[in-house]
Amino acid sequence: MTGAGAALRTKLELAIPLVHGAAARLWQAPHPHESFRRYLAAMHTVVRASVPLMETAVQRCATLSSDPLGPPLRDYLRRHIREERGHDAWVRADLEALAAGASAVVDGIPPPSVAAMVGAQYYWILHHHPVCVLGYIAVLEGYPPAPSLAGYIAERTGCPDTALRTLRAHATLDVQHGAAVYRLLDTLELSPARQAEVGLSALHTVRSAARVLTEIRGLSSRKGRPADGHC
Amino acid sequence: MATVDPIAELRTAGIPVDDLTEAQRDALRELSPAEVAVLIDISRRLADAEPDVVAHTEAVGGLFF
């Protein structure tokens, strides 16, 4: 891998331990079942935004008439929309498998940390340049759950295997999808300024993702207290 | 206006840039000031994180898309 993809990997390797540390603290914390339920609920709020986010970026590409990044970015996003469509339903099904009625939690207002992470992408797509979304995708798909995480959670929570289907699927799918986005970055002719914009989007995503995981851990530790109003 | 050296800024913040390959340092030399600021903030958050977490590789798992 050479080019913008390789450069982004270098930046992220310095940052991604923040997410890994937050994940380790989450999965080692007390109340693992509650942590997993809240994790799935938060993931639903992230995943249900993936296709709409990319559709928004595709629409913005159509306005970039003289920008050579527009066509290859649009083509990649259109392909990826097809690959990602319906995954929010997978997460909802996993929540139901965890406990009947558990998926109702996703009807609550999404956590502020998720709004900050995903919302930044909408802002950059709409008010700056849609290429920024590649930084977001590069983090979420470039550093997916470890293949062994599902087994670790099953051991800690005793949850049924049917509640782990999305986690298991993404441990595989996101490796392939992550490779695709880095390949795209390596082939796009990104100016140094555009590379820095994708990098900033990615680093912001890292910081926000760690906050999402930390927030879940904090809420899970309050198990037994009255409902907090969001998932 | 003085030229900012991202590598020097990262090194000053305690990020182990001298452990990287020359190719990696070349990539970091192109960091924008905004990227440097976020990387340094992330580095501080890492330093402030609880040190007692055992880094089980099976417990590694971020978000998914």
Share of chain A above pLDDT 70, in %: 95
| pLDDT for A65 | 86
Q: Are A145 and A214 in contact (CB under 8 A)?
A: no
Q: Which residues in chain A are closer than 8 Å to B27, comparing Cβ atoms?
A: 6-7, 10-11
The identity of residue A176, as a single letter, is Q
Q: Is the pLDDT of residue B5 over 50?
A: yes
> Touching check for A146 and chain B: CB below 8 Å?
yes
Integer Cα distance of A74 and A72 in angstroms: 5
Shortest alpha-carbon distance between residue B8 and chain A (Å): 15
> Touching check for A143 and chain B: CB below 8 Å?
yes
For A150, A167, A203, A229, the CA distances from A158, given in Å and listed in that order, are 11, 15, 34, 26
Tokens matching residue B35: 């990227």
> Touching check for A52 and chain B: CB below 8 Å?
no
Q: Which residues in chain A are closer than 8 Å to B49, comparing Cβ atoms?
A: 18, 21-22, 25
| pLDDT for B37 | 97
> Touching check for B61 and chain A: CB below 8 Å?
yes
Integer Cα distance of A44 and A110 in angstroms: 9
A223's CB contacts (< 8 A; 6+ apart) are A31, A34
Q: Is the pLDDT of residue B59 over 80?
A: no
Q: Are A12 and A141 in contact (CB under 8 A)?
A: no
Integer Cα distance of B17 and A222 in angstroms: 39
Integer Cα distance of A18 and A31 in angstroms: 22
Burial class (CB in 10 A: 0-12, 13-18, 19+), B37: middle
pTM of the model as a whole: 0.93
Tokens matching residue A123: 């802002």
| pLDDT for B53 | 57
In SS3 terms, chain B reads as CCCCCHHHHHHHCCCCHHHCCHHHHHHHHCCCHHHHHHHHHHHHHHHHCCCCCCCCHHHCCCCCC
Closest CA to A85 of A184, A164, A173, A162: A173
Nearest residue of A to residue B7 by CA position?
A11
Q: Which residues in chain A are closer than 8 Å to B65, comparing Cβ atoms?
A: 46-47, 50, 84, 137, 140-141, 170, 174, 177
Q: Are A220 and A29 in contact (CB under 8 A)?
A: yes
| pLDDT for A82 | 97
Q: Is A67 helix (H, G, I), strand (E, B) or coil?
A: coil
Contact B65 A148 (CB under 8 A): no
Integer Cα distance of A230 and A124 in angstroms: 26
ipTM comes to 0.89
Residue with tokens 């999808």: A177
pLDDT per residue over B12-58, tens digit each? 999 999 999 999 999 999 999 999 999 999 999 998 886 655 555 56
Contact A145 B42 (CB under 8 A): no
Contact B59 A15 (CB under 8 A): no
Low-confidence ranges of chain A (pLDDT < 50): 1, 225-231
pLDDT grade for B61, boundaries at 50, 70 and 90:
confident
| pLDDT for A19 | 93
For A24, A142, A210, A217, B57, the CA distances from A17, given in Å and listed in that order, are 10, 13, 9, 17, 12
